[in-house]
Every structure is written in C-alpha cells, then in structure tokens.
Chain A
Amino acid sequence: MSAFHFEGLVWHWPIAIYLFLAGLSAGAVFFAIMLKHFKLAGEAYHSPFVQAAAIIAPITVFGGLGILVFDLTKPLDFWKILVFYNTTSVMSMGVLVLMAYQVALFAWIACIFNKMILQLLGDRLAFVSRMIKWLVKQEAAITGVLVILSISLGAYTGFLLSALIGFPLLNNPVLPLLFLISGLSSGAAATLLGGVLLRGNPNGIEVRFIHGIEIPMILVEIGLIFTFFVGLILSGGQSQVAALNAIGYGFWGWIFWGGVIGVGLTLPLAANLWMKVSADRKFTYVAVTASFSLIGVFLLRNFILYTGQMTGV
C-alpha cells in the first residue's frame, strides 16, 4: 500500500490543506480577539500581531474555500451548496458556519481598524463611514458572535471527518476536539509569525501572552492525541487495527512520530519551557517555534486524513 495512493482513498491532500487553512483562520481570529480583550484594548489596531491576524484570517479562509471549490468535480455548481441545505449533513451546517464566520470576521476587522479606515475614506463614501460607525457600536456583540463562530469553525473541520462512519480512525469523538485545539494553536503560530514579519516586537506583551496560552494548549493537544489513539486501541477490532496501522510503522508512522509529535509538539513545548526562565525573545526564536507548530499541524491534518481512509470497517 503506497502512502498517497490506495484503494478506498476518496479525499486527497487538497482537503487536508483546506482543513488546515480553515482551522488556522479560526485560530488566528481567536487569538487576535484574546489579545485585544486581555492586553491591548483600544490600542489593538497598532499591534503588528493583530494586524497580521486580520490579514491572515481572511486570506486563509478564502484560500481554503477556493481549494474546496476547485476540488469539486463540478466547481461551477458550487453555488448549489449555498442554496440547498440538508440539516443532517455536517458539511451543509459547516457551510452555514463558514458564511456567518466571514461576515462576522469582516465586521470585526472593520470595528478594530475603524480609525484607520475612516481616516482613509475621508469624505468619500459617506454610507460606508456611517456603516462602520454603526458597527463600532455593536462591537461587543460582533466579538461574541465571532468567538463562537471561530470555535465552531475549528471544531467543524473535525466533525466533517468524524461523520464518516465507515472509518474507525475518523469516526472518533475526540477528533473534533483535537482539530479544534490544533487549529487554534496553528492560528496562534501564524499570528506570531506574521506579527514578527510585520516588524512586531518579538519580546512584546503579545508574544508573551500567546506563548503563555501555548504551553497549556500543547499539553492539552498531547493529551487529546493520547486519548485519541488509546481510545482506538482499547476499542479493539478494526479500530485497533486502524490505530496501530497509522502510528505503528511505515511512512505515516514517521510523519506522526517525527513530524506531529517531534517537530509540531515537543520542540515548541521545549522551546517555550526553556524561554520561560531566560529573558529576551529574539525574532528567530519566535519565527522558528511558530514555523514548527505550523508544520506540525499541517502534517497532523494530512496524517489523519490519509491514515483515516486507509482502514475501512
């Protein structure tokens, strides 16, 4: 059995990229909101990290959706998914979440950067200015809705796969949680990376705040991965076969232990714990640990998608 081509494979790597980008977008927004709420308040729009999140979140969600549309066998018919709905379909409900998420995302960005946008507009397009002023008044509500939608979006990517009852590795109740947490950490990593690239201070309060959340999150992620596979192995039967097949040996075993556990979780965790005691964070430090996290989450998406489809019931 080759790692990328085998019988029963339906969804290929474009879907893994989509799952990665959707989770990343949700995570970036989540952390930008947390940064504003707990640390930056009215100064949020000055922060290169919030700016990075505001750029990354829309681009990744659009990119992911674009990949999804081109992966359809009839890309030009994509609008039918927006018109017809099936309440029992995870995908259908996910499309609703995605639509609402994008609206809330842009409303939130308009709120955060209202001063910049209003300044830029000047006297032109008076109705846009009026709308932004109105949105600013609703900021609390928009923020609340966006937090819920970003968490929903992060979990949805997991639910999408866990609805496939024929594959024991995917049809697993821990999967949506695992995808949510790993998606959030990829969003955090992307925000950090984008922030330092936009000349944000690698030793600033934003980095310290996100790193503070990152350690418990990595620990939770390790716990979830552990629960995920131990649960499968203890279930016995095909679930056990699927789990051992995935992490036991071969190409995907290497990806799991080396890529997901090693590069994605252990290295950033070790780096974060080490940095706690030492003083200054440098650009390279932030950029490299963030890149490790991103690589780890991207490999996790591919690993789950491919190994999940390898062992049918």
Chain B
Amino acid sequence: MEHSKRQFLKGCGALLAGVSVYSVTKSPLAENTDTEAQAEIKYAMVHDENICIGCNACVEACREVNHVPEGVTRLKIDRTGPFGEYPEQSYRFNRVSCQHCEAAPCVRVCPTGAAYIDKKTGIVAVHEERCVGCQYCIAACPYQVRFINPETRTADKCDFCQQTQLKQGLAPACVLACPTKALTFGNLKDPDSDLVRLLKSKPTYRSKVDLGTRPKLFHVQIIDGEIML
C-alpha cells in the first residue's frame, strides 16, 4: 500500500511538472513562427517624432471614429519639455498606444482567449464577448495602454481601427487626421509600401524591446534639442 502510494505521488508530480513546463514554454513566440509564413498582411505603424507637433488631432479622431467614451483613450501623445531657453524652446512628443506586439504579454496571460492576435493581419485584438474583465491583460501590458471601457466593461485598446476604418478599406483614423503626416501605417510584408520604405530610409526605435515583446509600433527619434539620458 505504502509502495503504490509513493509510486502514485511520483507519477502525479512528474505529470504535473511536465504539463506546467510544456504550457509555459509553448510561448506565443513559438506559435508565431508557423503563422508568419502564411499571413500576407502584417500591419505596423511608424510615428515620426520629428514631424509630430502634438496637436492631438489623432486622439480626437480616434475617439470619434471608434466611439471611445470620455475619461479613457486608446491613444495618447505624451509631451515632455520644454527644452532650451526661450525663444529656442522645443517639446518632444511620443505616441503611446497599443504596440501590436508579436509576442504579446496580454495574449499570453488572458485566461479566456479574449485577447488574441488576428492571424490574417497581425493585429492584437479583443474578443469582446469572451472578456470577463479580470484585468490581467491590463496588468501584464508593459506599455500600459489597455483599459476597461466603462460602457462595454471589457478590455479595450487601439486595434488599428480594425472594426471601423480598415473594414471600409481606409487607413486608421489617426493617420488620416494627422495634419503633418507624422504617422505612417502599412503592411510590413509589402516591400513597396510607404511603411517599409520609411523603415528602410530612417533609423527607428521601438519601446522596451528588451522585454522580448517585439512591438510593431516604430518611432523615428527626435534629433532636435538636448541629449537625454
């Protein structure tokens, strides 16, 4: 009796350890390698901080098109500064919105699969019906761009206007609204797109790449003003 119990415990322990290691190592990164070859579209965006004037037209356009309620936003323009002495003053503007990570932490932690990567477009989207509002995705997102929509009570964020503009064959609302054309949206897999041409012509950076999330929001770094550490 003692012997069989010990065997049983050992078996259970081994099984449990095996299952948990398997599920943890089966990362979104590994999954993506198969689908990457098939999908023809992989949307990405570039924000040129040299051209952005911080007018917030993108924020307002997004709110209107996607019916984002007051008090929350899918998109923010972070302003830092001023730098330098008057009249030679300047500000820096940084776009804060969903980065549409290839290895999205929100997708990995979502218990119901409500946060998912659209295999056809690479867009990180939210399945509204499945979301229960546990907010694990909001805590997991290192970019802090997810929020609970007070009307639908589900997790919400930028989806490159997947449900609104893209459906009609239009570019995202923020891109169209930008008066200085600081935003470029397009397909990473299309070598002739403006997006790819821009990425090949200017040096860009992406936020928090050391976390291994492989974000698809690129920034052209501002060359104006003082050097910051």
Contact = CB atoms under 8 A, between A and B. Distances in A.
Nearest to B153: A73
Contacts of A80: 112, 130, 132
For chain A, the bracket of interface size reads: 35 or more
B138 A10 contact: yes
B28 to A, nearest CB: 7
Contacts of B138: 10
B111 A78 contact: no
Contacts of A85: 111-113
Contact of A91 (B23, B111, B130): B111
A152 interface: yes
Interface stretch (A139-147, A260-268, A281-289): A139-147
A114 to B, nearest CB: 18
A77 B26 contact: no
For chain B, the bracket of interface size reads: 35 or more
Nearest to A95: B111
B132 A164 contact: no
B111 A77 contact: no
B172 interface: no
Contact of B139 (A73, A144, A309): A309
A91 B34 CA distance: 26
Contacts of B136: 89, 91
A166 B108 CA distance: 13
B111 A86 contact: yes
Interface string A1-31: 0000000101100000000000000000000
A93 B65 CA distance: 37
Given A84-B111, A87-B26, A165 B105 contact: yes
Nearest to A152: B16
A93 B9 contact: no
Interface of B: 1, 4-5, 8-9, 12-13, 16, 20, 23-24, 26-28, 105, 107-113, 130-136, 138-144, 148, 153-154, 208, 211, 213
